[in-house]
Amino acid sequence: MKIDSQVLKFLNGDSFQTSLNVEIGKEKHEIISRESAITAIIKNSSVIHIGCSDHIQVINDKIKNNIWLHKLITDNATRCIGIDIDKESIEFIRNELGYQNVFHGNILTDEFKLIRDAKWDNVVLGEIVEHLDNPVHFLKTFKEKYGENVSRFIITVPTVYNIRQFKNMLNYREVINSDHRFWFTPYTISKVLVSAGYKPDKIIYANLQSLSIKDLVKRKIKRIFGFKVAYPYYYFNTLIITGDIN
């Protein structure tokens, strides 16, 4: 979806249609993971990482496979702090893994002087918004508290426009994380962000879904003959949205 002036009229609520037809785009996208996309965006910048911890049981495996996001951000940012409401995970990361740039607390209700006393290039919220009861309130409150301190946002969410979900639907199934409150599309996550006062400007498709044997064979043949391998948006599981906070 291209966030142009026409789409913005609907995102801002200046225009309304019961059946808005938004073109997502027919271009194909290169294979990229959520972690590598975020790492490339934040490289050599200062970062606030909200929801930084992950489940204790998977952190070591993710580090081993080089996909634990907080480590990747810490290694590539000029300055990084992580904040998470999960006290047990934060204590594990600090005491067992040795990362002293993580802090326990609620970003909405607690005061973080480290944020208030500095200027930050990016805030990263990876796979958080779909877990929130009221994502607009969460994002709006963060902006009101720290919007003057942070320039840009990077948010990732699962997308319902995915060929795997379509296949599940045809089999009369919904396969979902049981703690999720929402499925998102490019338009609906943009609507949430604009409603909270943010300015989304780019959408990236990441995390290629598991391919069928047929698709894997086709991809291998293309690579053998030197062709670029890319896929339409509905082959990806994750939306990455970036933009300005003010």
Task: Flag whether 58 is in a domain.
Answer: yes
Task: Flag whether 27 is in a domain.
Answer: no
Provide the pLDDT for residue 1.
84
Which domain range does residue 69 map to?
Answer: 32-210+236-244
CB neighbourhood size of 158 (10 A) = 19
Provide the pLDDT for residue 222.
87
Provide the pLDDT for residue 10.
96
CA-closest candidate to residue 163, choices 237, 220, 113, 217: 237
Provide the pLDDT for residue 202.
95
- Cα distance between the two ends of the chain: 21
Are 81 and 115 in contact by the 8 Å Cβ rule? The answer is: yes
Provide the pLDDT for residue 228.
86
Instruction: Name the domain count of the chain.
Output: 1
Provide the pLDDT for residue 2.
83
Task: Flag whether 16 is in a domain.
Answer: no
Do the bridges between strand 102-104 and strand 120-126 make them parallel or antiparallel, or are there none, so unpaired? Answer: unpaired
Task: Flag whether 76 is in a domain.
Answer: yes
Task: Flag whether 135 is in a domain.
Answer: yes
Provide the pLDDT for residue 221.
92
Per residue of the chain (246 residues), what is the pLDDT tens digit?
A: 888 889 999 999 999 999 999 999 899 999 999 999 999 999 999 999 999 998 899 999 999 999 999 999 999 999 999 999 999 999 999 999 999 999 999 999 999 999 999 999 999 999 999 999 999 999 999 999 999 999 999 999 999 999 999 999 999 999 999 999 999 999 999 999 999 999 999 999 999 999 889 989 988 998 888 888 999 999 999 999 999 999
CATH of the domain at 99: 3.40.50.150
Query: What pTM does this model have?
Result: 0.94
Task: Flag whether 86 is in a domain.
Answer: yes
Alpha-carbon separation of residue 244 from 81, 121, 150, 176, 194 (angstroms): 20, 10, 9, 30, 10
Task: Flag whether 23 is in a domain.
Answer: no
Are 99 and 74 in contact by the 8 Å Cβ rule? The answer is: yes
Task: Flag whether 219 is in a domain.
Answer: no
Are 189 and 197 in contact by the 8 Å Cβ rule? The answer is: no
